[in-house]
Amino acid sequence: MKDVTGRFEKESNIEISLNSCSFSKLVKANSETWRLYPAFSDRSPGRWRSIHFREVERYSFALAHWLQQRCPHGRCMILAESRLEWPLAFLGVMSAGAVAVPVDAKSTPQELATFIRHTQPGVLLVSPKLRDTAADAAAQAQWQGPVLLLDIADQGSDALGGLAPAPVDFQAGSHRPEQTAVIAFTSATSGQPKAVETSAGNLFHQMTSLRTLFKARPGDVFLSILPLNHLLELSCGMLTVFACGAHVNYLNSILPHEIKDALKQRGITHMIVVPLLMEMIRKGIERNFVSKLGDRGKTLLQVLQAASSLSPSNQMRRFLNRFILSELGPRLNTVIVGGATLDASTVAFFSNLGIHACQGYGLTETSPVATVNPPGKIRRGSVGRALPGCQIHIDAQGREKIGEILVQGPCVMNGYLDDATLTASVIDTNGWFRTGDLGYLDSEGYLYITGRKKNLVVLDGGKKVYPEEVEKALSASLLFQELCVTGVKQEHPSFPGKITEQVCVVIVPQADLRQQHDPTRLQSLCEQEVLRLCRDLSAYKRPTRVIVQLTELPKTRTGKVKAPLVQQQLSALNS
């Protein structure tokens, strides 16, 4: 009884630390509660490394003490691939009361120089792999300041592993809830990335809300494959998991076979992904059935899906699909999806396997989660309901059901760094943030995304086409590796000389298809597939032009297609 009471009191300390909005108190409470439980792991060449909660306190507080002497309350840029030193760096910066500036590990020196000039960090925290890139960027930005190597194995004075432990009387820094704690750059699907100021209160709201909704606990094992400079992975995949006492495994790969190996070897229970990866996994399972059993395999999978959909429990669904799950990852039970909208049929596919596919919605400007479908309350086709304390409003015209999505509440950012005009253009005086996305709410407050305001295709005669709706229909094809639906200005097919906006789809066929057929045959196959898949859409929504491309579409680091860039390329072809 004494042990149970002691553990309860210690877990209460975690609740207290979350309510206090103090990162250092959270680190301390986790260290005292979970002690030698694994907190973070990564895969180095040939082996996995791990670090427990007591070591997290040791290294992050050592870094916090070092930063307080060199960069008190300043900005600290983190440039590193996903590895166990990354969260140590972030928690160290937070425990110093400083501001973290996480940047993309795949940035070029020129991009990094721009980030450095924009944010003027006092310190660079850099992984060994990216030390030369950082040096090049610093030289271009004419920046001179201390650089610390994020390597716990290195005992040098300029490395994390060589820092002296924080003294016994160490006084951690802190943030006021409204104070900026992170400057995060948007993924920039169009134009230049913007520097978003995320407050400490934003981050703690994400942790407390998602921790309550998903109820992860010690013993749960998360796989992290998204870049940590992306707020989805930082807020949800790292901070929320840490607040739950669960275990994060970093894998710097999106290769399907390496992900599958990690799912099995590490006993992964949860994973945060973007829709692109979910579609890849689904199509991989479908192709595997067809390759082994031909048409019978396709029929068998359909029967299995139908039977699973009628099963009375999730346990029964997992039993029926045990052979698929044994290959995919026998412990995987929850996948959190963000970054874009996931097709409802894919949500159903994974649900029938016994895996909760919990889709959410948000932007970097909303820290990033604004709405989510928690396990057990998933509504297919929807991105869920607003997080506690947040509100969603649809700015629709007249009796229209669909309009721009507005968000208000503790998830909304402080603003854009050094750009009050841009901030005022998206956040009104009442705190409503204009997302630029279009959607609608059902009677129970579940949000449905219909498209991006800037992507909307307006046809001759005023009819409107949401590219995302057409993309959902086309994404069912096993022939297409990726695609993008967009509007393009071209001559009207029935009225020569008249230029109108029309629906166009750019398709990249699967690799094996590109190897087997010449361009003419590929074009014909893709056009036939588009006709087949769009037959249930209204005639005006069907693409009037199909372009087959052999190279990948331009995408952000998290796999979102940059539709504006595709549109620009099409415009250049037509000019």
Same domain, 462 and 507: yes
Q: How far apart are CA 261 and CA 258, in angstroms?
A: 5
Cβ atoms within 10 Å, residue 527? 16
Closest by Cα among 100, 33, 17, 10 to 60: 100
**Of the residues 124, 149, 166, the one at which a domain ends:** 166
Q: How far apart are CA 224 and CA 237, in angstroms?
A: 7
Same domain, 378 and 364: yes
**Of the residues 400, 424, 453, the one at which a domain ends:** 453
Q: How far apart are CA 474 and CA 455, in angstroms?
A: 17
* pLDDT tens digits, 313-337: 999 999 999 999 999 999 999 999 9
* pLDDT tens digits, 390-409: 999 999 988 889 999 999 99
Residue 178's region, left for phi above 0, alpha for psi from -120 to 50, else beta, is alpha
- For every residue of 366-428, DSSP letters joined together read GSSEEEE--TT---TT---EEPTT-EEEEE--TT-S-EEEEEESTTS-SEETT-HHHHHHHB-
* pLDDT tens digits, 287-318: 899 989 988 999 999 999 999 999 999 999 99
Check if the beta carbon of residue 534 is closer than 8 Å to that of residue 474: yes
Q: How far apart are CA 318 and CA 302, in angstroms?
A: 16
Amino acid identity for residue 314 in this structure:
N
Same domain, 531 and 419: no
Report whether pLDDT(493) > 80.
no
Backbone angles phi, psi at 117, to 5 degrees: -65, -35
Q: How far apart are CA 353 and CA 349, in angstroms?
A: 7
Closest by Cα among 420, 429, 487, 482 to 453: 487
**13 is a domain residue:** no
**Of the residues 453, 472, 493, the one at which a domain ends:** 453
CATH code where residue 462 lies: 3.30.300.30
- For every residue of 196-261, DSSP letters joined together read EEEEHHHHHHHHHHHHHHH---BTBEEEE-S-TTSHIIIIIIIIIHHHHT-EEEE-----HHHHHH
**10 is a domain residue:** no
Give me the pLDDT at residue 157, please.
Answer: 92
Q: How far apart are CA 229 and CA 205, in angstroms?
A: 19
* pLDDT tens digits, 169-221: 999 999 999 999 999 998 655 557 899 999 999 999 999 999 999 989 999 99
Q: How far apart are CA 170 and CA 160, in angstroms?
A: 18
Same domain, 103 and 92: yes
Closest by Cα among 486, 528, 534, 490 to 509: 528
Give me the pLDDT at residue 5, please.
Answer: 47
Q: How far apart are CA 306 and CA 85, in angstroms?
A: 45
Same domain, 351 and 464: no
Q: How far apart are CA 574 and CA 36, in angstroms?
A: 62
Q: At what angle do helices 53-70 and 85-95 cross, to 10 degrees?
A: 50
Same domain, 527 and 436: no
Count of domains observed in the chain: 3
Report whether pLDDT(3) > 60.
no
CATH code where residue 91 lies: 3.40.50.980
Check if the beta carbon of residue 233 is closer than 8 Å to that of residue 224: yes
* pLDDT tens digits, 509-561: 999 899 999 999 999 999 999 999 999 888 889 999 999 999 999 988 777 88
> Coil, strand or helix: which one is 560?
coil
Average model confidence (pLDDT) across the chain: 91
Backbone angles phi, psi at 391, to 5 degrees: -130, 150
Q: How far apart are CA 274 and CA 384, in angstroms?
A: 16
**347 is a domain residue:** yes
Same domain, 437 and 310: yes
In whole angstroms, what separates CA 91 from the centre of its chain?
20
What b/e string do you get for 144-156 counting C-beta neighbours within 10 Å, with b at 16 or more? eeebbbbbbeeee
Closest by Cα among 68, 66, 89, 35 to 174: 68
Same domain, 449 and 414: yes
**388 is a domain residue:** yes
Same domain, 434 and 478: no
Check if the beta carbon of residue 440 is closer than 8 Å to that of residue 401: yes
The token duo for 162 is 């060589």
Report whether pLDDT(428) > 60.
yes
Give me the pLDDT at residue 538, please.
Answer: 86
Same domain, 437 and 299: yes
* pLDDT tens digits, 77-108: 999 999 999 999 999 999 999 999 999 999 99
* pLDDT tens digits, 24-79: 999 999 999 999 999 999 998 779 999 999 999 999 999 999 999 988 779 999 99
Same domain, 336 and 415: yes
In eight-state DSSP terms, residue 503 is: E
Residue with tokens 């009884």: 1
> Coil, strand or helix: which one is 336?
strand
Least confident of 154-163, 216-225, 483-492, 548-557: 483-492
Give me the pLDDT at residue 4, please.
Answer: 44
Q: Kindly report whether the global pTM for this prediction surpasses the value 0.75.
A: yes
Confidence of residue 389 (pLDDT cuts 50, 70, 90): very high
**What is the residue range of 64's domain?**
36-44+53-166
> Would you say the C-alpha torsion 209, 338, 455, 466 has a positive or negative sign?
negative
Same domain, 499 and 533: yes
Look at 344 and 3; give whichever has higher pLDDT.
344
CATH code where residue 407 lies: 3.40.50.12780
